[in-house]
Structure 1
Amino acid sequence: MAQAFAEKPVEDSVAKVNNEVAVGEDLEFQRKWWKFERGVWIVFYLILLLDVLGFFGRGWVAKKEIIATDGSIDVKFERIERTSTPSILTVKFGSSAIQHGEVELYTSGSVVKELGAQRVVPSPKTTTLGQDGLTYTFPATTPPASVEFALEPTGPGIRHFVVQVPGFAPVKADIAVVP
């Protein structure tokens, strides 16, 4: 037997204004939220700008060049590096640094220990372990002679290093290594 169901319209319990659903609004909260969103977008744009400029490594701000006061060497490196990311430290020698067809270069131990020197190009003729560092001897006849150190820092922090031709002015610098 079929039962007759009484048809009854569905009733809406949500209040309506002008035949539209009325949802509460808090304009003061909404304005605060928009202000917060604007602040977040500004922070995102600043981070992006800093990254493009090189504040987190590999950019215009990260590159540094220091020339010894006596002109014996010119050192180019990245002052902001990333942990376990390869980079190059380049040392160019002035004509006064080349003596008897050779050039000597002292590097502090931090270049090997903290900055993780992987290789030296060209290969040195001799390497001498000395007080807090290494002294390399390279064959060189005429400027521009240069040496490149392939670095790969092992951990974050501020790393200090010294590079110099023995008997000439040293170049002292810092590299910030970020994670």
Structure 2
Amino acid sequence: MKGDGDHPDLQSRDYPVREDMAYQAKVWRFERCGWYVLVLLVVLGLLGLFSRGLISSREVISDNGHLRAEYEMFHRNGSTNAMKISLNGKPDATLELDIGGELLEGFSVETLQPQPLRSRNSAQGMRLWLQADGQGQATLYLTLRGDGLGLFRSRIESPGSTGVELVQFIFP
């Protein structure tokens, strides 16, 4: 029985056109690998590698459970993504929230819902005061627009609670 290399179509020849079939087989293998990489990138993109999705969605909770942040890890420059920050404290109390690190360097805050009772900017970031409900919970929804490029590390803290670290990457 003949092997695949013995098939007449896979033999190098000079007539009618000069062909190097060993080189052609290497090109075909390279193209096949390129197709695999392309399919892998499409699947990763659908899963959220370049923006919203399963790979990108993150939820971080402080050690004592009083602070929780839900956000997207991967962003595109110029696109908007939502972030949800939840705080637990005393019922009907005013809760403080510090947002610092590189978040404000790589993102612009488009909206804050509900509007905080007060806010203050500082060199480290910004401090917000939120009104807790009857169960002691306050939730802040932010819309962030990616303005930078690369990796940004941020920290969200609340007095009386351990903070949470956010890691976000903005693609061009």
Q: Fold match, TM over 0.5?
A: yes
Deviations 1:20-71 (A, max 9, x none): x944443223312221221111111111122122122211000000001011
TM-score of the two chains, using structure 2 as the length reference: 0.81
- Residue among 124, 129, 132 paired with 2:124: 132
Q: Which moved more, 1:60-69 or 1:42-51?
A: 42-51
Partner of 1:108: 100
Asked if the contact 2:62/2:68 (under 8 Å) is kept, the reply is yes
Partner of 1:174: 167
Asked if the contact 2:67/2:86 (under 8 Å) is kept, the reply is yes
Partner of 1:3: none
Q: Do residues 83 (structure 1) and 77 (structure 2) align? A: yes
Residues 119 and 110 of structure 1: CA distance in aligned 2, closer, same or farther (over 3 Å): farther
Does the residue aligned with 2:32 lie in a helix, a strand or coil?
helix
Task: State how 1:1-179 maps to structure 2 within 5 Å.
Answer: 22-94=16-88, 97-98=89-90, 100-108=92-100, 110-130=102-122, 132-143=124-135, 144-179=137-172
Asked if the contact 2:109/2:145 (under 8 Å) is kept, the reply is yes
Counterpart AA for 2:59: E
Moved over 4 A (4+): none
Counterpart AA for 1:103: L
Larger Rg, first or second structure (1 or 2): 1
Give distance in 2, aligned partners of 1:27 and 1:104: 71
User: Hey, which of these two has a bigger chunk of strand by percent?
Assistant: 2
Structure 1: stretches of 5+ with no match in the other structure? 1-20
Residues 125 and 170 of structure 1: CA distance in aligned 2, closer, same or farther (over 3 Å): same
Per-residue deviation, 1:99: 5.3
Give distance in 1, aligned partners of 2:21 and 2:108: 57
Residues 98 and 135 of structure 1: CA distance in aligned 2, closer, same or farther (over 3 Å): farther
TM-score of the two chains, using structure 1 as the length reference: 0.78
Give distance in 1, aligned partners of 2:119 and 2:169: 27
Let me know the Cα RMSD of the aligned residues. 2.0
Give distance in 1, aligned partners of 2:21 and 2:106: 56
Per-residue deviation, 1:172: 1.4
Residues 35 and 109 of structure 1: CA distance in aligned 2, closer, same or farther (over 3 Å): closer
Structure 2: stretches of 5+ with no match in the other structure? 1-14
Per-residue deviation, 1:168: 1.5
Does the residue aligned with 2:64 lie in a helix, a strand or coil?
coil
